């Protein structure tokens, strides 16, 4: 375990050499590229310099040198993000950040277990509805995600309520955008199209709520204030 390790003079010299070589490698590999041409920074609080150091760390084949370099980068990360020390377990957090920057491909020794990639950080599978989207674009992507969610729900009252909510939303969207009130049969067809056939609904079971907008009464004299008769004050007696 090396987190609280007291380095020897030779190891300190080796650490300084690694720092200098890492800085040189980071600068020499930049080639003065624009940020848009480089890989996206994974954790912005540490910057591109740390990310380049970690990439160099992954290339180090010697385990002992890799551990020394990793602890050097650890100190650099703490210095760049000093507010993290306010956390009770900040050391583990920094090590976890280093693994995240390295895409969890680091083989190093420290006092903490290697973290598991966070499932929430992965991007969801894209919804492959390009043709459908162009046909029903007035519904919007949020409705598509709702339909996908409904198709994965277990049969029951909750799913029926959810489908009725979606159907009502579709009817009102079509009414607002196309000035057309959809029939239950049309709604069922749209649901099947948008779910790639996964959501099959009996039109007789739909309970659709159609929003009604009441128009404000139009007054002929609207905007015209009634003039006061100031002459009445000055009537001749």
Q: What is the pLDDT of residue 141?
A: 75
pLDDT at 227: 53
DSSP output for 111-169: SSPPPPPPGGGSPPPPP--HHHHHHSGGG-HHHHHHHHHHHTSPSSHHHHHHHHHHHHH
The structure tokens listed for 135 are: 């046909």
Question: What average pLDDT score do residues 168-176 get?
Answer: 83
Q: Which two tokens stand for residue 149?
A: 């969610």
Percent of the chain with pLDDT strictly greater than 90: 19
pLDDT at residue 18 is higher than 60: no
pLDDT at 93: 93
At 99 the pLDDT is 93
Q: How far apart are CA 100 and CA 94, in angstroms?
A: 10
Cβ-based neighbour number of residue 188 at 10 Å: 21
Sign of torsion over alpha carbons 149, 155, 159, 164: positive
Instruction: Work out the angle at residue 67's Cα, subtended by the Cα atoms of residues 6 and 95, and round it to the nearest 5 degrees.
Output: 90
Q: Give the separation between CA 96 and CA 4, rounded to whole angstroms.
A: 17
Query: Which is nearest to 139 in space by CA: 188, 184, 86, 194?
Result: 194
| Residue 6 pLDDT > 50 | no
Closest CA to 110 of 76, 78, 63: 63
Span 164-168, average pLDDT = 87
Rounded CA gap, 214 and 154, in Å? 38
What pLDDT is stored for residue 73 in this prediction? Answer: 92
pLDDT band at 70 (very low <50, low <70, confident <90, very high): very high
> What does DSSP assign to residue 88?
T
Structure confidence at residue 37 (pLDDT): 54
Of residues 153 and 28, more confidently modeled: 153
**What are the tens digits of pLDDT across the range 179-209?**
778 888 988 998 888 888 888 899 888 888 7
pLDDT in tens, 32-59: 444 555 678 889 889 888 999 999 999 9
């Amino acid at each position: 375990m090396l987190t609280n390790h007291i380095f020897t003079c030779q190891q300190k010299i080796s650490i300084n050499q690694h720092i200098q070589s890492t800085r040189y490698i980071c600068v020499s590999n930049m080639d003065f590229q624009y940020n848009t041409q480089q890989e996206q920074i994974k954790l912005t609080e540490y910057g591109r310099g740390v990310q380049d150091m970690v990439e160099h760390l992954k290339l180090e084949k010697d385990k002992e040198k890799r551990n020394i370099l990793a602890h050097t980068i650890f100190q650099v990360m703490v210095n760049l993000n000093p507010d993290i020390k306010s956390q009770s377990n900040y050391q583990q957090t920094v090590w976890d950040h280093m693994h995240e920057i390295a895409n969890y491909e680091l083989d190093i020794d420290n006092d903490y277990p290697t973290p598991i990639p966070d499932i929430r950080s992965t991007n969801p599978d894209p919804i492959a509805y390009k043709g459908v989207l162009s046909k029903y674009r007035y519904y919007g992507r949020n409705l598509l995600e709702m339909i996908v969610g409904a198709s994965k729900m277990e049969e029951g009252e909750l799913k029926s309520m959810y489908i009725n909510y979606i159907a009502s939303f579709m009817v009102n969207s079509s009414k607002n955008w196309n000035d057309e009130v959809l029939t239950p049969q049309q709604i069922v067809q749209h649901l099947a199209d948008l779910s790639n056939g996964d959501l099959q609904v009996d039109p007789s079971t739909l309970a659709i709520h159609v929003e009604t907008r009441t128009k404000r009464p139009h007054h002929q004299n609207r905007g015209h204030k009634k003039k006061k008769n100031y002459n009445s004050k000055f009537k001749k007696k």
